[in-house]
Structure 1
Amino acid sequence: MCLIAFAWNIHPRWRLVLAGNRDEYHARPSAPLDRWNDMPVIAGRDLEAGGTWLGVSPLGRCGVVTNVRDPRLPQTGRSRGLLVTDWLAGKADAPAHARALCRDAARYRPFNLLTFDAQAAFYLGNRPEPRLQAVTPGVHGLSNADFNTPWPKTRQLMARLQAWLDEGAEDVAPLFAALADEQPALDHELPDTGVGRERERWLSPAFIRGREYGTRASTLVLIDRTGGGRIIERRFGPEGRPDGQSDMVW
């Protein structure tokens, strides 16, 4: 995943409302959102490394990971996607998992990870050093920088999620519309992550359209206060071509 906004413990019905886009090379093989046969996970699957970018468990857990956009960082270590599956299939609660992972985080490729269970939520990262942070109730955002870094697309998605909450809406169409926004940021708002101004501009919208790289999936997660919920995934091919949708409840 490369863009996430979520509301934690502020909606009267939903403990967690999460909207996110996964940006990836189109050639990287992946399976659509589904229930996995080998572990208690509902997610799409990265067929190259075996993990996932975003998933839920039937017990009401959720996990989502992004990479860190910094060309100076070596992309070595254990796959980031395994962080999500290890969390979803594990037994430890969110605080215990966060403490244990923080001790082991340097073994993984550069990552940002969000974990949610029935009682708590945590952000964990490993660059420039391992760190963890408990998530407070409210609307938060994450892209390919530190938690709540105010990149333009992160701020905009958070604002549109907040507007959806304020309206008391049940229709999720406005959230998918927010994830589909292709408006680039103004040049003076662009971050400098070391990839050059032209690429920063191309990567700045919520939805990235490209022939070789771009938004592969837009996903919504809604988890209620009993642990039940719904996950919807819309998939895209090269140049943003629609490539199917999955909608699952548990």
Structure 2
Amino acid sequence: MCLTAFAWNVHPRWRLVLVANRDEYHARPSAPLTRWEDIPVIAGRDLEAGGTWLGVTAGGRCGVVTNVRDPRLPQEGLSRGLLVTDWLRGQAGASAHAHVLCETAAAYRPFNLLTFDAEAAFYLGNRPAPRAQAVAPGVHGLSNADFNTPWPKTRQLMARLQAWLDGASEDVTPLFAALADEQPAPDHELPDTGIGRERERRLSPAFISGRDYGTRASTLVMIGHSGHGRIVERRFGPDGRPDGQTDLAW
């Protein structure tokens, strides 16, 4: 997962409204959003490592993970996707989970993790050192840098989520339109993460369309204050070709 924006405890009906794009190589095998048979999780599944990039439970938990874009960091350790499945099937609350994970976080590949339950939300990261931060109510964003780092696509997705909140509409079409935005950022706004200006430009839109690498899924999560919720996943193949949609509620 490479881009997400979310509203935490600011909507009268929805405790969490989260929109996210997963960017990945198209050759990496994955299964569509579904209810898993082996554990009580609703998520897509990475068929290479076995975890997920984003998932929910009928109990109202949600978890999202992204990698960290820094070519200086070795991509070694346990799979990031296991962090989400471990959180979703666990029993500890978000605060207790954050405390425990900080003790083992260094063993995983560089990650950013967001966890949500009925009581709290947390951001956790492990580079340059393990750390956890409680999330305050409001609209926040995360891509492949630290929490709320103002990359152009992160700022824009947060702004469009805020506009949707201000419009007091239940129509989610504008949220998916925001995730589908292929407009690159101006060169003077591009971050410098050590991958070169051309790649920074190619990775700067919310939606990345490419033959080998790009946006594989756009996902909407809405969890109500009562615990009920909805998750919608739109999938894409090479060059942004639509490849199905799943819409589940609990």
TM-score tier (shorter): over 0.9
Percent identity, aligned pairs only, is: 82
Normalised TM-score (structure 2): 1.00
Deviation at 1:227, TM superposition (A): 1.1
Provide the rounded CA distance (Å) in 1 between the counterparts of 2:58 and 2:98: 20
Normalised TM-score (structure 1): 1.00
Provide the rounded CA distance (Å) in 1 between the counterparts of 2:229 and 2:238: 30
User: How big is each residue's C-alpha offset from its partner over 1:1-38, in whole Å with a ceiling of 9 and x where there is no partner?
Assistant: 10000000000000000000000000000000000001
Q: What's the counterpart of residue 3 of structure 2? A: 3
- Shift >6 Å, 4+ stretches: none
Provide the rounded CA distance (Å) in 2 between the counterparts of 1:135 and 1:40: 25
Letter in 1 for 2:66: T
Provide the rounded CA distance (Å) in 2 between the counterparts of 1:91 and 1:234: 29
Q: What's the counterpart of residue 200 of structure 1? A: 200
Provide the rounded CA distance (Å) in 1 between the counterparts of 2:48 and 2:227: 30
Letter in 1 for 2:23: D
Q: What's the counterpart of residue 191 of structure 1? A: 191
Q: What's the counterpart of residue 16 of structure 1? A: 16
Deviation at 1:226, TM superposition (A): 1.4
Q: What's the counterpart of residue 73 of structure 1? A: 73
Letter in 2 for 1:21: N
Superposed, which structure 2 residues align to 1:92-171 within 5 Å? 92-171=92-171
Letter in 1 for 2:193: T
Provide the rounded CA distance (Å) in 1 between the counterparts of 2:137 and 2:70: 29
Provide the rounded CA distance (Å) in 2 between the counterparts of 1:226 and 1:124: 26
Provide the rounded CA distance (Å) in 2 between the counterparts of 1:226 and 1:29: 35
**RMSD of aligned Cα (Å):** 0.3
Q: What's the counterpart of residue 248 of structure 1? A: 248
Letter in 2 for 1:190: L
Q: What's the counterpart of residue 239 of structure 1? A: 239
Provide the rounded CA distance (Å) in 2 between the counterparts of 1:220 and 1:75: 28
Letter in 1 for 2:71: P
Provide the rounded CA distance (Å) in 2 between the counterparts of 1:206 and 1:54: 17
Aligned residue for 2:70, secondary structure, equals coil
Aligned residue for 2:144, secondary structure, equals coil
Q: What's the counterpart of residue 58 of structure 2? A: 58
User: How big is each residue's C-alpha offset from its partner over 1:211-236, in whole Å with a ceiling of 9 and x where there is no partner?
Assistant: 00000000000000111100000000
Letter in 2 for 1:137: P
Provide the rounded CA distance (Å) in 1 between the counterparts of 2:175 and 2:43: 19
Provide the rounded CA distance (Å) in 1 between the counterparts of 2:242 and 2:56: 23
Provide the rounded CA distance (Å) in 1 between the counterparts of 2:212 and 2:184: 19
Letter in 1 for 2:6: F
Aligned residue for 1:83, secondary structure, equals helix
Runs of 5+ unmatched residues, structure 1: none
User: Does 2:49 correspond to 1:40?
Assistant: no
Provide the rounded CA distance (Å) in 1 between the counterparts of 2:228 and 2:104: 31
Name the count of aligned residue pairs.
Answer: 250
